[in-house]
Chains A and B, each alone.
Chain A
Amino acid sequence: DGDVDLDDSFSRLAESRTHP
């Protein structure tokens, strides 16, 4: 499901920006 992938991508982006 593309939407689930997108949701994951934003979560990963937010994670990576919190713990670079």
Chain B
Amino acid sequence: IGNVTPFYTPAKQVWLPAARGKGLEISGTFTRRNGQIYMEMTFSNKAMQAMTSFAIQFNKNSFGLSPAQSLQVQGPLQPNGSVDSSLPINTKGPVQKMEPLTNLQVAIKNNVDVFYFSCLVPLHVLCMEDGMMDKRVFLATWKDIPAQNEVQYTIENVNYTADQVSSKLQNNNIFTIAKRNVEGQDMLYQSLKLTNGIWVLAELKIQPGNINLILSLKSRAMEVASGVHQTFELILHN
């Protein structure tokens, strides 16, 4: 009780410092509500003139992220003023693999100039609500994916029980399909599905009295593994 949190939304970070935005500062984060990805931003005007006519564009990116509507910034944004904007995002845009995979390059225009910045999209906002793999399919897929396509990570310093871990992850669309206990050790079998249709299978070993968990990942597209590992870290440490 008290340990279960809803979808994890990272705190906003400064994406465009005022010094690079001719007085415009943008901080932001990403979240997911009701199956929809949102880019949440705060625009702050640190210049001496009002700002108007805001617009946004994304560069091609790994997951085809694209604004689902035009950017709404209540304006004009007066000097020393600050305003929040929530931009729905779809995944119908052009795809080009980025390094790192979740890198997103953004252009923002206003009446002053055009500004560019990059940000990282936390992978769990791309995890779909229907990512719970059928048990039979999970078993077959786990067997089918060769051992060389498995990567292991240690997630250190996790002070949750297996059930708490499971429910924290489930709130972020990482689903537990089966839980087994072998000689006191809890084993969680989990799945997630990314917006581009890539499935990832996970096994999480939780040993009694050990705050370090062992995460094993299997996927037919292993380039997502490192991002998925980071997502587990993020969720289990927040």
Interface residues, chain A, CB within 8 Å of chain B? 2, 6-7, 9-11, 13-15, 17-18
Contact at B182–A14, with CB atoms within 8 Å? yes
Contact at B182–A10, with CB atoms within 8 Å? no
CB neighbors of A among B180-226 (8 A): 180-183, 185, 187, 189, 203, 205, 216
Contact at A18–B139, with CB atoms within 8 Å? no
Q: Which of A2, A6, A7, A14 contacts B187 (CB 8 A)?
A: A14
Q: Which of B180, B183, B216 contacts A10 (CB 8 A)?
A: B180
What are 7 A-B residue pairs whose CB atoms fall within 8 Å in the complex? A9-B139, A10-B139, A10-B189, A13-B189, A14-B189, A18-B182, A18-B183
Q: Distance (Å) between the CB of A18 and the closest chain B CB?
A: 4
Q: Give how many B residues have a beta carbon under 8 Å from the other chain's beta carbons.
A: 15
CA distance A9 to B178 in the complex (A): 10
Contact at B135–A13, with CB atoms within 8 Å? no
CA distance A11 to B34 in the complex (A): 34
Contact at A10–B185, with CB atoms within 8 Å? no
Q: Distance (Å) between the CB of B211 and the closest chain A CB?
A: 19
How many pairs of A and B residues are in contact by the CB < 8 Å rule?
Answer: 30
Q: Which residue of B lies closest to A3 (CB)?
A: B135
CA distance A17 to B139 in the complex (A): 13
Q: Distance (Å) between the CB of A19 and the closest chain B CB?
A: 8
Q: Which of A6, A11, A14, A15 contacts B136 (CB 8 A)?
A: A6
Taking CB atoms, residues of chain A closer than 8 Å to B58 are none
A6-B139, A17-B216 given; name 18 further pairs at CB < 8 Å.
A2-B136, A6-B135, A6-B136, A10-B139, A10-B178, A13-B142, A13-B180, A13-B189, A14-B180, A14-B182, A14-B189, A15-B182, A17-B187, A17-B203, A17-B205, A18-B182, A18-B183, A18-B185
Q: Which residue of A lies closest to B142 (CB)?
A: A13
Contact at A13–B139, with CB atoms within 8 Å? yes
Taking CB atoms, residues of chain A closer than 8 Å to B182 are 14-15, 18
Taking CB atoms, residues of chain A closer than 8 Å to B189 are 10, 13-14
CA distance A10 to B139 in the complex (A): 8
CA distance A6 to B216 in the complex (A): 21
Taking CB atoms, residues of chain A closer than 8 Å to B216 are 17
Q: Which residue of A lies closest to B139 (CB)?
A: A9
Taking CB atoms, residues of chain A closer than 8 Å to B136 are 2, 6
State the 6 A-B residue pairs at the shortest beta-carbon distance, nearest first: A14-B180, A10-B178, A14-B187, A18-B182, A6-B135, A14-B182
